[in-house]
Chains A and B, each alone.
Chain A
């Protein structure tokens, strides 16, 4: 079953603006991961944040994790049209790397 809920479901912004997507989950986790998916394509791993970490950066990406609130956010700074895609969070609840995906946020960056 899906435990991740993401908001917003869809986000439309202008190039250069920042995009923030949120993810909430219900159970204890080992780590939380963010993925990107272009329409009709496979998933691209963006970033992994472990349960004992609060914030992580990778290029224009910034991920936060609040285990007390069971939530995470993905910030994309200085967005580009090429960032247009669906973004999914996924939680790893067990040591077996079994992922549970959120519903996803469809991001559209207008040039």
Chain B
């Protein structure tokens, strides 16, 4: 149990377009989901914390109007990169907590975004 999926696994888009990435908890309800960004050979940087039914909490330096997060249900959160630019190219990873079970975050497989 505790599987998290992401879709798509990779995406290539043109500069100026918007891209939506989905994060789903497949076999549990996730009250909280997290979105991370990872540049090559670097660590994960938390972008935002998303709670079902409420607005996401963004980390300092992350533009909320550029990275739109929606957590409409207990099994789905979406990250939309609006007006993407080449510098947004990165590996985006989501995670989810099954809060009733404790502290562990379950991570999705990641989405590789390349903006041309």
The answer to whether B49 has its CB under 8 Å from any CB of chain A is yes
The answer to whether A18 has its CB under 8 Å from any CB of chain B is no
Task: Write the A17-51 contact mask toward B (1 if CB under 8 angstroms, else 0).
Answer: 00000000000001101010000111111001000
The answer to whether B75 has its CB under 8 Å from any CB of chain A is no
Q: How far is the CA of A104 from the CA of B42 in the complex (A)?
A: 8
Q: How far is the CB of B74 from chain A (nearest CB, A)?
A: 16
- List, in ascending order, chain B residues with CB within 8 A of A41's CB: 109-110
Q: How many residues of A sit at the interface, in one of the four size bands?
A: 20 to 34
- List, in ascending order, chain A residues with CB within 8 A of B79's CB: none
Q: How far is the CA of A99 from the CA of B45 in the complex (A)?
A: 9
Chain A binding surface SS class? strand
- One of B44, B49, B99 near A98 (C-beta < 8 A): B49
Number of interface residues of B (CB under 8 A): 25
A2 B45 Cβ-Cβ under 8 A: yes
Chain A residue, CB-CB nearest to B5: A42
B43 A88 Cβ-Cβ under 8 A: yes
- List, in ascending order, chain B residues with CB within 8 A of A2's CB: 43, 45
- List, in ascending order, chain A residues with CB within 8 A of B36's CB: 101
A101 B106 Cβ-Cβ under 8 A: no
Given contacts A30-B103, A42-B109, contact A97 B45 (CB under 8 A): no
Question: A33-B103, A97-B103, A99-B46 provided; 20 other pairs, C-beta below 8 A?
Answer: A30-B103, A35-B107, A41-B109, A42-B107, A42-B109, A43-B44, A43-B95, A44-B107, A45-B104, A45-B106, A45-B107, A48-B103, A88-B44, A96-B32, A96-B49, A97-B97, A99-B95, A101-B36, A101-B46, A103-B42
* A interface residues (Cβ-Cβ under 8 A, vs B): 1-2, 4, 30-31, 33, 35, 40-45, 48, 88, 92, 96-104
